[in-house]
Amino acid sequence: MERIENEIWMATWNVIYLNRAGSVRKLMEELTKYGIGIAAIREIRWPGTEIMEREDFTILCSGIMKSALGTDFVVSREYNGSIMEFKPINERICTLRIRARLFNITLVCVQYMH
C-alpha cells in the first residue's frame, strides 16, 4: 500500500503480557511490518511509569507496581519530534499529545475492565 506524505498510521493493540521474553521485539517487528507510526497498547503488565527507547521505537508507559493492567503508547522514532506531552494518569489511562500539520492531536489509551 502506498503512503501519502505526512501520513501517520495509528493502531491499538491489547497485548496481554508484554513482559514475556521476546514479546517487545515481536511487537516492534509487527509495528514495523505494518508501518504503524503510533500504537496505543493495553494490558502491558509492566510496573511503573517510564519512557524507554527500544530499537526504532519509544515506549511511553503508564502503570503501577502490582498492576495486572497498564497502558502505553509506542511511537516510531520517526515521530518523536511530534510528541508534545505524555501524561500517565494511572494504570488504566494515559494520553499522548502530538503536533500535527494543521492542529495538535490528543490520543487517549484506556484499559477497560470486563
Report the CATH number that the domain containing residue 40 is assigned in CATH: 3.60.10.10
15 grid coordinates: 497485548
Q: In the predicted model, what is the mean pLDDT of the chain? A: 83
In which band, very low, low, confident or very high, does the pLDDT at 26 lie, cut at 50, 70 and 90? confident
Q: What's the half-sphere exposure (Cβ side, CA atoms, 13 Å) at 8?
A: 20
pLDDT of the residue at 23: 80
H/E stretch holding 4? none
Per the CB < 8 A criterion, the answer to whether 73 and 63 are in contact is no
Q: Give 90 or 5, the one with higher predicted confidence.
A: 90
Domain range for 30 is 10-110
User: Is 29 part of a structural domain of the chain?
Assistant: yes
In which band, very low, low, confident or very high, does the pLDDT at 24 lie, cut at 50, 70 and 90? confident
Residue 66 scores a pLDDT above 70? no
Residue 49 scores a pLDDT above 80? no
User: Is 97 part of a structural domain of the chain?
Assistant: yes
User: Is 69 part of a structural domain of the chain?
Assistant: yes
Average pLDDT (97-103) is 90
Specify the number of domains making up the chain.
1
Which residues have C-beta within 8 Å of that of residue 13, sequence separation ≥ 6? Answer: 27, 39, 40, 41, 42
pLDDT of the residue at 43: 77
